[in-house]
Amino acid sequence: MARRVYTLFFFLCLPLIILRLLYRAIKAPAYARRWPERFALGGDVRSGGIWVHAVSVGESIAAAPMVRELLERYPQLPITITCMTPTGSEQIRKLFGGQVGHAYLPYDLPWLQRRLLRRLQPKVGIIMETELWPNLVAEAKRAHVPLVLANARLSARSARGYQRVGALVRPMFSALDWVAVQSQAEALRFVELGVAREHMQVTGSIKFDFRPDPAQVQQARELRARWGSERPVWIAASTHAGEDEQVLRAHRRVLEALPDALLILVPRHPERFDSVARQVSEAGFGMVRRSSGALPAADQQVLVGDTMGELVFLYACADLAFVGGSLVPNGGHNYLEPAALGLPVLSGPHRFNFTEISELLEGAGALQVVDDETALAVAVQDWLQQDTARQRAGQAGQAVVADNQGALERLLEGIARLLS
């Protein structure tokens, strides 16, 4: 009954959803393209193989090592990756090109999900992290498609939200065939929402299995040398609205102590690239945009990272990383990428999406939590002025990453059981 009410509500809201898509297309024109795929029509859908759903950029990057292993281990099975956003789509094509099929996931109406699954006819469906839709899961169950929730995470905040609509989501969670969850605390939350204990395993986070590309790191070092090897550089990555201005005010304080310091500012969403660049200029900073290909001059204090797929490369150009979504209540982003590159990590107080990972890094001395822009400025100054301490913190972060690897292999073993 609850799912029928949900479906009716979703259907009635569809005109508003389409209007929102059109509104988003004003800033990001890609949202106005490929509309048939939103209704399970078109797209590069390859049937009879493995289907992976990764909602956007972060999930696509997290899924990449798994997908590469699946391509190698099951060359006879085609892989199709679905996502929800143009940026996720661009990332998938950048990562895999024509090696995989790709389409947008349709809106969560039963007849649309049914149409997609008829076209896919997958031997297994792998959903990354927490991107669950009631009708999608129900239709997969009806079609006898085994579903894996991979690299699953569930914050206490999200769990409370799901509990409020328990009648709708408990059947969804109980229908999952296997959940590869990141931590024991999250496993308990999934059990409370209806996942059977025997259908779940604590595998750890596959984000620990991230391994920087040595060639990319070398290219970053060469670029950094062209900026001036003595110039201190810090990066504020995956920032959100309301956060950029705090970072810029912190950078102004950093410049008082380190006049040649360079900030790499990377907004989380591409549709904000232009507005953030304007914000930097209006704040009175000398600025260069990464997309221009120009090198930051001595009188330019900010480089705006306005390109797709280069975040890891830009991390490798820096001495120190602040990970965004944490000075505003978005829950933080992936702290492991900068840690794996040997960078000390700074985070704001809002890190509920990565609590366990951030606490591991913090306990090792590789991550420092700052409460506001003033504390951020102080911490950046301290780290940039203490080479030995900064290197020790970076090495501690790399050790944490290395010590917790192995989740990817455990995930692949679980998928293999469902494919056998």
Of 84, 83, 93, the C-alpha closest to 21 is 84
Helix or strand run (H / E) with residue 124: strand 124-128
Contact at 8 Å (CB) between 100 and 67? yes
Question: Which 8-state DSSP code applies to residue 319?
Answer: S
Return the H-helix or E-strand segment holding 287: strand 287-289
Q: Alpha-carbon distance 234 to 314, whole Å? A: 10
Give, in degrees to the nearest 5, the angle at Cα 92 between 86 and 98.
120
Q: Are 318 and 251 in contact (CB under 8 A)?
A: no
Is 362 assigned a catalytic role?
no
Q: Which of 37, 59, 337, 373 is catalytic?
A: 59
Q: Torsions phi, psi of 149, nearest 5?
A: -100, 110
CA gap 331, 336 in Å, rounded: 15
Q: What is the DSSP letter of 85?
A: S
Q: Catalogue the long-range contacts made by 118-122 (C-beta closer than 8 Å, 24 or more residues apart).
A: 118/143, 119/40, 119/45, 119/47, 120/45, 120/46, 120/47, 120/51, 120/80, 121/47, 121/48, 122/47, 122/48, 122/49, 122/50, 122/51, 122/80
Residues in CB range of 117: below 8 A, 6 or more apart = 139, 140, 143, 145
Q: Which helix (H) or strand (E) holds 128?
A: strand 124-128
C-alpha count within 13 angstroms, C-beta hemisphere, residue 142: 13
- Which residues are the active-site residues? 59
